[in-house]
Every structure is written in structure tokens, then in C-alpha cells.
């Protein structure tokens, strides 16, 4: 399947890229990146977070500019990995869309891992 190309550096013009960055910052600030990290085999989240810990920006837009300027490759790789697993994310245009997607992804993981060796009907 050919994936729609979302370029993180175009976040000012691309609603999906902008919403993804806002979503990521929200997860970072709330410490809720656990589920997202399950789709991060290259450990891009660690690099992005280390940068965010050290940076300070007075406004959200300045933070986004700084983040993209320094962590564009990591953000792009993470986004690409997410899109590989779920091409539907290319259609997420708002922060709420991303939040809903994340809740569903978290719920799906919980169903798959409930009771460790238990399946969806709670039998082995």
C-alpha cells in the first residue's frame, strides 16, 4: 500500500503534521507515552524527549519551531513507523482526532494483552 506522505517540517501548512506535533507534546507533558512507545522500534521517543527536557520556549509555536528544527528526523521516523502500522493516521487532522486514535490503540493493546496468555474470551 502506498502511504500518503506527511512531511513533519511542513507542519505549518499540513494539518495532520501540526496536530501530530501538538498531540506528541501533550503526551510528553502528561507522561503518557507508554502506548506510543510500543510503535517505536528505533527509540526515537527517547531522543525527542531528551531534547524536550532541555528546551524552553515561551510559546507553543516557538516550541514547535524549535522542536522541528532540532528533531525533524526523529519525528519523521516516528511518524513513518506509526503510519506503517496504521495508514489511517494520515487522515487525522486535529488534536482530538489523535487523542481518539490513541485511546483506541491503547484499548486494542489492552485487549491483546489482558491476562497475558489469555485470549479475548479469557481462555488459554
Residue-wise pLDDT for 30-84, tens only, equals 999 999 999 999 999 999 999 999 998 889 999 999 999 999 999 999 999 999 9
Q: How far apart are CA 124 and CA 121, in angstroms?
A: 9
Q: Looking at residue 114, what is its pLDDT? A: 53
Q: How far apart are CA 13 and CA 68, in angstroms?
A: 14
pLDDT of 4 higher than 80 = no
Which residues span the domain enclosing 70? 8-113
Query: Residue 2 domain-assigned?
Result: no
Query: Residue 1 domain-assigned?
Result: no
pLDDT of 1 higher than 70 = no
Query: Residue 79 domain-assigned?
Result: yes
Query: Residue 121 domain-assigned?
Result: no
Report the chain's mean pLDDT, rounded to a whole number. Answer: 89
| Mean per-residue pLDDT, 7-11 | 96
Query: Residue 3 domain-assigned?
Result: no
- Beta-carbon contacts of 45 under 8 Å, excluding residues fewer than 6 positions away, are 33, 36, 37, 78
Q: Looking at residue 124, what is its pLDDT? A: 44
The burial class, CB within 10 Å (0-12 / 13-18 / 19+), for 103 is: exposed
More confident residue, 124 or 93: 93
CA atoms within 13 A on the CB side of 84: 9
Query: Residue 118 domain-assigned?
Result: no
Query: Residue 68 domain-assigned?
Result: yes
Q: Looking at residue 123, what is its pLDDT? A: 44
Q: How many domains does the chain have?
A: 1
pTM assigned to the model: 0.86
Query: Residue 12 domain-assigned?
Result: yes
pLDDT of 106 higher than 70 = yes
Amino acid at each position: 500500500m502506498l502511504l500518503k506522505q506527511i512531511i513533519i517540517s511542513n507542519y505549518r501548512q499540513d494539518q495532520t503534521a501540526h496536530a501530530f506535533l501538538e498531540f506528541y507534546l501533550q503526551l510528553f507533558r502528561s507522561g503518557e507515552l507508554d502506548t506510543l512507545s510500543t510503535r517505536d522500534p528505533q527509540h526515537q521517543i527517547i531522543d525527542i524527549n531528551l531534547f524536550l527536557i532541555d528546551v524552553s520556549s515561551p510559546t507553543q509555536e516557538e516550541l514547535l519551531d524549535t522542536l522541528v528544527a532540532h528533531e525533524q528526523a526523529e519525528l519523521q521516523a516516528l511518524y513513518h513507523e506509526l503510519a506503517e502500522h496504521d495508514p489511517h493516521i494520515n487522515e487525522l487532522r486535529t488534536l482530538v482526532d489523535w487523542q481518539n486514535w490513541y485511546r483506541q490503540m491503547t484499548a486494542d493493546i489492552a485487549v491483546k494483552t489482558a491476562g497475558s496468555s489469555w485470549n479475548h474470551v479469557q481462555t488459554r
